[in-house]
Amino acid sequence: MKELDKIFARIVQRVNINLREIDFDVNPFAVELIPPDQMSKFYAFYGITPDHPLDLHFQHSALAGSYFLGKCQVRNSLLYKSDIRGDELKRKGDTVTFKRFSITLTNDEMIDIRNSALVKTLVHNYSHDPETPEVFFITDTLAMDYANIHGSPTDGSFLGPFATVDLTTVRDSVIGAYSYIQAGEISHLHIEPGTIWVNSPGNFNFYYRHPPEQLEHYISLSPDKVPWGLLIDFIEERKVEFQRVFDVVNLKEIGSVPESAKVDRYAVVLPNIKIGENVLVSQRAYLKNSSLGRGANAQENCFIINSTLEGFNVTAHGAKIIEARLGRKVFVGFNSFLNGNTEQMLTIGEGCVIMPHTIIDIKKPLEIPADHLVWGLIRNEADLALNSLPKTTLSAVDSSLTQGRMHFEGKGGLFVKALSDRIDHILEVNGAFFANGENDGHAQRNQKLSLNTIQPFQFGPMQGMYPTITIRP
Amino acid sequence: MKELDKIFARIVQRVNINLREIDFDVNPFAVELIPPDQMSKFYAFYGITPDHPLDLHFQHSALAGSYFLGKCQVRNSLLYKSDIRGDELKRKGDTVTFKRFSITLTNDEMIDIRNSALVKTLVHNYSHDPETPEVFFITDTLAMDYANIHGSPTDGSFLGPFATVDLTTVRDSVIGAYSYIQAGEISHLHIEPGTIWVNSPGNFNFYYRHPPEQLEHYISLSPDKVPWGLLIDFIEERKVEFQRVFDVVNLKEIGSVPESAKVDRYAVVLPNIKIGENVLVSQRAYLKNSSLGRGANAQENCFIINSTLEGFNVTAHGAKIIEARLGRKVFVGFNSFLNGNTEQMLTIGEGCVIMPHTIIDIKKPLEIPADHLVWGLIRNEADLALNSLPKTTLSAVDSSLTQGRMHFEGKGGLFVKALSDRIDHILEVNGAFFANGENDGHAQRNQKLSLNTIQPFQFGPMQGMYPTITIRP
């Protein structure tokens, strides 16, 4: 048995031990998850910038084509083309405030991945857990294609494809396919597929679940099968265009990118792209025939096709925008799928917030008025009426509101404020407000990003595994 | 001041401190030696094979496009496209015998480079010093273009361009351009350019010095100038063909290489090359319109152009063979320059030994009879008569012999035997005698060599320096 198979069997067992109380067996989902012969085909790479500390340690792990930035250690784990970003980790001396606690860090924060298998998973942001401010851990966890572990220390858990955990500490839990959880701390929960849950205890609680029989069309997962559905097909069809950017050592620079903007070297940029000032296009973003106005950003794994984004737009990780016009400051949350088409344009008014994991898939033109909150599955005008609200209406909610499959409890004003504060913060850290040499963010700082590669063993029982590699300044 | 400049200044100072007793200042030779803007342009790479332990540690150093194999640490040093091979290092448990001592190694041997600047230098073999069997050290040393540190721990020394130290511990010494020293242990010596000196105290002592005014035509070095001469020009003219092999991620395999032979992926192989069984072509070898018969090898930095090598030929590191026919088992030593031309073919008979650093540069055809020892500078029949001897004649020498500029003392038989034992050993370790799955060597084992890359900082004060990198199994 090759080392790669041994380590995978060990990870699966560890996840199952953690999930024994909720009686979940990850074994059937592990089938074909890590393609052993693919694991030695790719090179992993890491970014170096003058702006953040470098500290990488890889031990007894396979990394395939994964990407690393900042401080990270990976031990006894398998990563298959995952994207592990450490550029927003906290630093030694930083003080974080959590309710009545003020915590000063004695070390730089580090991402610590152990005994885990992550497939095309994005790991980003920093540990929002006040219990472990210096360690963003991911242990005994199995995460499937395009899962998103965002500021969420995770232990003993299983994440289905396109599942997102956001600013949440997750222990011994199962997060179903295409579920989005932002809930501070969860433990021993089995979250059904297509659940959108934003909970700030004492403040607000937002809950929606995609209709299972309709969600299946977009993303499905069954034991003993690889995930399937429209979202998987959509990505697979565009895979070949990513090939090119990884095969060539020195890629031609894309013309006419303003000096204040940054288009990553590992982004796919197809013809007819207009990039405004302060725009950030992250690696593995896919852009085709679209315009990104001043201060817009296109985050990892997003797709923007035949669309116009007016400016200060956030296209979050994994979001897909096809044949759409987005006004200024429209926010499109993680893994949302906005699927217009040439004849049936989708128009979204200024200041709208498209909740994470929203699907808009239209057969007729659809226009969403400005300053609305939008969620769930929307296929027509009637769905839109049920799955959206003016932000002002929501702000006025004082105790609870139920509309269609959505349930809200708590203070609407606090929820809307939390959303808009966060959007402003995202724009700020990405450098959207850069002017006169001030307010620089990722778009400007990543100008000086260089990418280095590391490679696995090519032969013998260790094939596909990486040597023990330590990289420090 | 950038880190790269600081570290270089520090190295130069340390070498000068070591060389104070022989009153030598390396400063004038350090000018333009390390081109700072080139140091961030290249990637370094290391080989992994299942056959030898991996242990690399790089700290506070610039490595440019250097190559590493096996166990090696580099600290506070600058390497510019050097070739550091650790595949012949001794292993834990090995026993080496040195006169009346039998020494068993308690650790794997390691190459340890500290406070040194090596430019296009080849480091190879293992420490032949019984005082440090587990460490092949290179400290406080500056070595210039195409110097060759072969099995020679070196401390506080300066090596001119094309200087070779072979199986010799070198302390506080200056080795002139194109000098070859094999002398067990030397200290506080200033070796003039073009010296060929093979000394085994109590057994034999071979000494020749190239006529300085004629050597100048081939290689010259003066304070405040970069080295020049025909040898430098010869390499510079062929530089562009090396470019291609480093620019492309996946190079096409060369057709019709027998399974028992190995042509390195970083060798330059131009049209009309015939490769026999058990042939080894090392990285940075350059082959053009030539035939290498069974068991021949073409070592690092060698050039073989328009030539036929019948088989079991050794073309040692840096040797150049142009327009020549070599019989079976002709040995061509380090940095030899055999320059025939289309009209004036050079023919070398079976079993000849061309001593290291021999120059044969002919205007008329020249034929060297079989089983001769050949040395020095040869431009015609008269030079050949002066600078060669049948091996049998030399074997019969019992006390001393002077012929032209060559002086020999000791037992000729021991000298000839030492040479032919070594040639057999070289053929053996390179896999020339492989048959029926037995007697495998580098040619067969390197089949499973994979090459990985590491990269320097691209920006800021550390530009051109490498991060601290540790790579272990």
pLDDT digits (tens, 9 = 90+) for B175-205: 999 999 999 999 999 999 999 999 999 999 9
- Number of folded domains that form chain A: 2
The full length of chain B comes to 473
Burial class (CB in 10 A: 0-12, 13-18, 19+), B338: buried
Do B175 and B264 belong to one domain? no
Tokens (6 digits) for A134: 């210096």
Residue B254: pLDDT band by 50, 70, 90 thresholds?
A: low
* Position B214 in a domain: no
Which residue of chain A comes nearest to B458, CA vs CA?
A450
Which residue of chain A comes nearest to B452, CA vs CA?
A455
Q: Are A385 and A379 in contact (CB under 8 A)?
A: no
**Chain A interface test: which of B45, B247, B250, B468 (most A C-beta within 10 Å):** B468
Do B146 and B295 belong to one domain? no
Do B425 and B467 belong to one domain? no
**Chain A interface test: which of B243, B459, B463 (most A C-beta within 10 Å):** B459
| CA–CA separation, A81 and A70 (whole Å) | 17
Q: Do A450 and B467 touch (CB under 8 A)?
A: no
Please tell me what DSSP assigns to residue A223.
T
What is residue B1's predicted lDDT score, i.e. its pLDDT? 67
Tokens (6 digits) for A77: 């784990």
Do B29 and B113 belong to one domain? yes
Tokens (6 digits) for B179: 């000098």
Which residue of chain B comes nearest to A468, CA vs CA?
B472
Nearest to B468 among A448, A458, A471 (CB): A471
Vertex A379, ends A378 and A382: CA angle to 5°? Answer: 80
> What is the CATH classification number for the domain harbouring A347?
2.160.10.10
Nearest to A468 among B48, B250, B473 (CB): B473
Nearest to B472 among A249, A460, A467 (CB): A467
* Position A307 in a domain: yes
| Nearest chain A Cα distance for residue B370, angstroms | 44
* Position A197 in a domain: no
Q: Is residue B303 scored above 80 in pLDDT?
A: yes
| Nearest chain B Cα distance for residue A276, angstroms | 25
Tokens (6 digits) for B45: 């790479």
Q: Which element (helix H / strand E) includes A9?
A: helix A3-18
Do B185 and B115 belong to one domain? yes
* Position B224 in a domain: no
* Position A87 in a domain: yes
Regarding predicted confidence, which is higher, A437 or B75?
B75
Q: Are A459 and B456 in contact (CB under 8 A)?
A: no
Do A37 and A110 belong to one domain? yes
Residue B252: pLDDT band by 50, 70, 90 thresholds?
A: low
Q: Are A63 and A74 in contact (CB under 8 A)?
A: yes
Please tell me what DSSP assigns to residue A50.
T
Tokens (6 digits) for B391: 């091996």
| Nearest chain B Cα distance for residue A58, angstroms | 9
Q: Do B248 and A249 touch (CB under 8 A)?
A: yes
In this structure, are strands B400-403 and B406-410 parallel, antiparallel, or unpaired? antiparallel
Q: Do A48 and B458 touch (CB under 8 A)?
A: yes
Do B462 and B356 belong to one domain? no
| Nearest chain B Cα distance for residue A87, angstroms | 17
How many interface pairs between A and B have CB atoms less than 8 angstroms apart?
69
What is residue A105's predicted lDDT score, i.e. its pLDDT? 93
Nearest to A471 among B248, B459, B467 (CB): B467
Only one residue has tokens 């390499």, namely B235
Domain that holds residue B157: 3-191+449-471
| CA–CA separation, B456 and B465 (whole Å) | 5
Q: Do B468 and A467 touch (CB under 8 A)?
A: no
How many C-beta atoms surround the C-beta of residue A21 within 10 A?
10
What is residue A45's predicted lDDT score, i.e. its pLDDT? 92
Q: Do A467 and B54 touch (CB under 8 A)?
A: yes
Q: What ipTM goes with this model?
A: 0.86
Tokens (6 digits) for A224: 């003993």
What is residue A381's predicted lDDT score, i.e. its pLDDT? 96
SS3 content of chain A, % helix, strand, coil (to 5): 20, 35, 45
Residues of A in contact with B472 (CB under 8 A): 467-468
Give the predicted TM-score (pTM) of the model. 0.90
* Residue A48, strand partner residues: A450
| Nearest chain A Cα distance for residue B409, angstroms | 51
SS3 content of chain B, % helix, strand, coil (to 5): 20, 35, 45
Residues of A engaging B, defined by a Cβ cutoff of 8 Å: 48-50, 54, 247-250, 448, 450, 452-455, 457-460, 462, 467-473
* Position B316 in a domain: yes
Tokens (6 digits) for A456: 């696995």
Q: Do B471 and A473 touch (CB under 8 A)?
A: no
In this structure, are strands A142-143 and B195-200 parallel, antiparallel, or unpaired? unpaired
Residues of A in contact with B455 (CB under 8 A): 450, 452-453
What is residue B18's predicted lDDT score, i.e. its pLDDT? 97
In this structure, are strands B468-472 and B55-59 parallel, antiparallel, or unpaired? antiparallel
Q: Are A300 and A122 in contact (CB under 8 A)?
A: yes
Tokens (6 digits) for A214: 């309709």
Which residue of chain B comes nearest to A43, CA vs CA?
B452
Which residue of chain A comes nearest to B53, CA vs CA?
A467
Only one residue has tokens 């940095």, namely B335
| CA–CA separation, B319 and B323 (whole Å) | 13
| CA–CA separation, B256 and B154 (whole Å) | 41
| CA–CA separation, B250 and B243 (whole Å) | 14
| Nearest chain A Cα distance for residue B456, angstroms | 8
| Nearest chain B Cα distance for residue A72, angstroms | 14
In this structure, are strands A400-403 and B290-292 parallel, antiparallel, or unpaired? unpaired
Do A326 and A359 belong to one domain? yes
Share of chain B above pLDDT 90, in %: 84
Do A166 and A127 belong to one domain? yes
| Nearest chain B Cα distance for residue A52, angstroms | 13
Residues of B engaging A, defined by a Cβ cutoff of 8 Å: 48-50, 54, 247-250, 448, 450, 452-455, 457-460, 462, 467-473
pLDDT digits (tens, 9 = 90+) for B350-403: 999 999 999 999 999 999 999 999 999 999 999 999 999 999 999 999 999 999
Nearest to A467 among B458, B460, B471 (CB): B471
| CA–CA separation, A382 and A377 (whole Å) | 11
Tokens (6 digits) for A280: 């950030």
Residues of A in contact with B462 (CB under 8 A): 473
Q: Strand order of the sheet with strand A268-269? A: A268-269, A286-288, A303-305, A320-322, A337-339, A359-361, A377-378
Nearest to A50 among B48, B455, B460 (CB): B460
Rounded to an integer, the average pLDDT of B413-422 is 96
Residues of A in contact with B448 (CB under 8 A): 458-460
| Nearest chain A Cα distance for residue B235, angstroms | 26
| CA–CA separation, A117 and A30 (whole Å) | 10
Q: Do A48 and B448 touch (CB under 8 A)?
A: no
Only one residue has tokens 């083309």, namely A81
| Nearest chain B Cα distance for residue A126, angstroms | 24
Do B33 and B165 belong to one domain? yes
* Position B328 in a domain: yes
Please tell me what DSSP assigns to residue A128.
-
What is residue A254's predicted lDDT score, i.e. its pLDDT? 65
Nearest to B450 among A48, A50, A458 (CB): A458
* Position A413 in a domain: no
Q: Are A195 and A138 in contact (CB under 8 A)?
A: no
| Nearest chain B Cα distance for residue A467, angstroms | 5
Do B386 and B249 belong to one domain? yes
Only one residue has tokens 């790719």, namely A42
Q: Is residue B159 scored above 80 in pLDDT?
A: yes
Tokens (6 digits) for A79: 């990563």
Which residue of chain B comes nearest to A246, CA vs CA?
B249
Closest CA to B38 of B81, B8, B89: B81
Residues of B in contact with A471 (CB under 8 A): 467-470
Only one residue has tokens 């959303």, namely A419
Which residue of chain B comes nearest to A250, CA vs CA?
B247
Burial class (CB in 10 A: 0-12, 13-18, 19+), B402: exposed
Do A456 and A437 belong to one domain? no
Residues of A in contact with B454 (CB under 8 A): 452, 454
* Residue B258, strand partner residues: none
Per-residue confidence in pLDDT tens, chain A, 473 aa: 699 999 999 999 999 999 999 999 999 998 888 888 889 999 999 998 887 789 999 999 999 999 998 899 999 999 999 999 988 899 999 999 988 899 999 999 999 999 999 999 999 999 999 999 999 999 999 999 999 999 999 999 999 999 999 999 999 999 999 999 999 999 999 999 999 999 999 999 999 999 999 999 999 998 878 899 999 999 999 998 888 777 665 555 566 899 999 998 889 999 899 999 999 999 899 999 999 999 999 999 999 999 999 999 999 999 999 999 999 999 999 999 999 987 778 999 999 999 999 999 999 999 999 999 999 999 999 999 999 999 999 999 999 999 999 999 999 999 999 999 999 999 999 999 999 999 999 888 877 888 899 999 998 899 999 999 999 99
Residues of B in contact with A468 (CB under 8 A): 470-473
